[in-house]
Chain A
Amino acid sequence: MSGTEKNKETLLAMMGIVTVAWLLILGATYVFFVIVRPLGPELHGANLPSYVTKVTLTLGLGASWFVVMFAISWLYLRAFRSPRTSS
């Protein structure tokens, strides 16, 4: 594969990473509004277990974004890394 082709591939792959990050935000929005939010009453009126469950699930959604992005970077580096030496 020529250098130019590989450069184009990395650009497309980076745009793919941006797309995945965006879809994860939309997916997390769906899970938040359809699953997490209906769990019990409004946060201010919730009892402790309901409050803890909702906040924990919301934080879990945020954490899942980071886990997936880390996995994608690992796949990216594995796909494009080649041995080079720095000067």
Chain B
Amino acid sequence: MVPGPTDVAAIALAFILPAAAMLLLMPGYARFLVARGRTTGDSHKPGGVVVPTPAGPLIMASLVVGEVAAWAFFRSPVPLVLIVVVASVGLIGLYDDLRGLGGVVKPALLAGVGLFVAVAEHLHRGVYSPVLYFPLFTETGTHYIIFALIVVASVPVSANAFNMLDAFNGEISGFTAIVSAALVVAVVLRAYALPGTSLGTVAMAVPLLATSASFYYFNRYPSRIFDGDSGSLSFGAMYVILSIVGGVEIAALVALIPAVVNSYYILSSVRGLVERKRMAARPTFLGDDMKLHASSDAKAPTTLVRMILLGGPLDERALVNRILAITAYAAFLSVVTSVMTWLL
């Protein structure tokens, strides 16, 4: 489908408004957090460096601004569903930032957000399509119950996968920006290939790219603000629900492979859902050379970072660049998957 002037204006505004909100408001918000004493130590730097946290509320606000812009143009209920998802998950994350939530309570609450999306589809058909489109082959049949179960499970899985990648300066913001760029390509190709598809899904997808890319400016090494669980969970939930309402689940899953592999290796090595702060041993440690080393402690979880550091110690910036290089490669495979799904 060829975009008209209204489509272009909607997509441009849905990108520009969240990015502008982030870039203009973040410095003042960071000062506000410092004035309120909301800071935490940056454990990978010497000299007691403290960084304001959490940036999650501003990330939520930025995403909401973008979805409101998409809604204003397309008048679809889907951006409203996305707003409720971001607000709910962000508040769960904010409670976790301020008070802490258990390793089982948090996934249960996040599954409740997934349940809300499934119920929204039940009440208003068209929020998402209960069909999976696969590369090279075709789509599955329509399976309302099976798909609803996938939606309920996807929010805690994705949100926690993002949360587990939130350990180093610029890691989560760079990761989200790269995978959301692949997601935008997927929804653009789907809109191009499927006759009658609204470009509204593109306008709904770009706020995540705009928010994460502009947040990377503040979160990259050396970080001027941390996102907190409210930020990482919001990113993860928004990403997976966008992939579902956009009908590009398989391509989105491929971009997410580094996060999925990381989560799977952590869960299999610690044998269950354990909150990061309560793990018996850390996967890495800061050496006297100010570089990060892989821990040799048998109790330490097997993480993506620990696996990378088995090649030798790295400083934080080089380590995050490697993680983002692996993510960019997965995003490239995601684009290949999108081409195989929609153009071949």
| A residues adjacent to B (C-beta < 8 A) | 3-4, 6-11, 14-15, 17-19, 21-22, 25-26, 29-30, 32-33, 42-44, 66, 69-70, 73, 76-77, 80-87
Q: In the complex the two chains form, is B254's CB within 8 Å of A9's CB?
A: no
Q: In the complex the two chains form, is A85's CB within 8 Å of B141's CB?
A: no
- Chain B residues within 8 Å of A11, by CB: 308, 311, 322, 325-326
Q: In the complex the two chains form, is A77's CB within 8 Å of B138's CB?
A: no
Q: Which residue of A lies closest to B328 (CB)?
A: A15
Q: In the complex the two chains form, is B307's CB within 8 Å of A10's CB?
A: yes
* A6 CA / B333 CA spacing, docked (Å): 25
Q: In the complex the two chains form, is A18's CB within 8 Å of B314's CB?
A: no
* A70 CA / B296 CA spacing, docked (Å): 19
- Chain A residues within 8 Å of B135, by CB: 26, 29
Q: Which 4 A-B pairs have the closest CB atoms?
A: A10-B311, A3-B312, A80-B310, A33-B137
* A14 CA / B6 CA spacing, docked (Å): 43
Residue-wise, chain B 129-149 has the 8 Å CB interface mask toward A (1 for contact) of: 000001111100101000000
- Chain B residues within 8 Å of A83, by CB: 296
With A7-B314, A11-B308, A18-B261 as given contacts, are A42 and B285 in contact (CB-CB < 8 Å)?
no
Q: In the complex the two chains form, is A7's CB within 8 Å of B134's CB?
A: no
Distance in Å from the Cβ of A41 to the closest Cβ of chain B? 11
Q: In the complex the two chains form, is B307's CB within 8 Å of A25's CB?
A: no
- Chain B residues within 8 Å of A84, by CB: 293-296
* A17 CA / B53 CA spacing, docked (Å): 34
B253 interfacial contact with A, CB 8 Å = yes
| B residues adjacent to A (C-beta < 8 A) | 134-138, 141, 143, 250, 253-254, 257-258, 260-261, 264-265, 268, 285, 287-288, 293-297, 302, 304, 307-308, 310-314, 322, 325-326, 329-330, 333, 337
What are 7 inter-chain pairs, A to B, with CB distance below 8 A?
A7-B314, A8-B311, A18-B329, A30-B137, A43-B143, A73-B307, A83-B296
Q: In the complex the two chains form, is A18's CB within 8 Å of B296's CB?
A: no
Instruction: Select which of B257, B295, B311 is within 8 A of A18 by beta carbon.
Output: B257
Most buried by B among A3, A25, A33, A81: A25
- Chain B residues within 8 Å of A19, by CB: 333
- Chain A residues within 8 Å of B143, by CB: 43-44
Instruction: Select which of A7, A73, A76, A86 is within 8 A of B295 by beta carbon.
Output: A86
- Chain A residues within 8 Å of B294, by CB: 84
- Chain B residues within 8 Å of A26, by CB: 135-136
- Chain A residues within 8 Å of B311, by CB: 3, 6-11, 80
Distance in Å from the Cβ of A55 to the closest Cβ of chain B? 9
Q: In the complex the two chains form, is B253's CB within 8 Å of A87's CB?
A: no
- Chain B residues within 8 Å of A80, by CB: 307, 310-311
Q: In the complex the two chains form, is B254's CB within 8 Å of A86's CB?
A: no
Known: A22-B333, A22-B337, A25-B254. 10 other contacts (CB 8 A): A10-B307, A11-B308, A14-B308, A14-B326, A18-B261, A70-B268, A73-B268, A77-B310, A82-B310, A84-B296
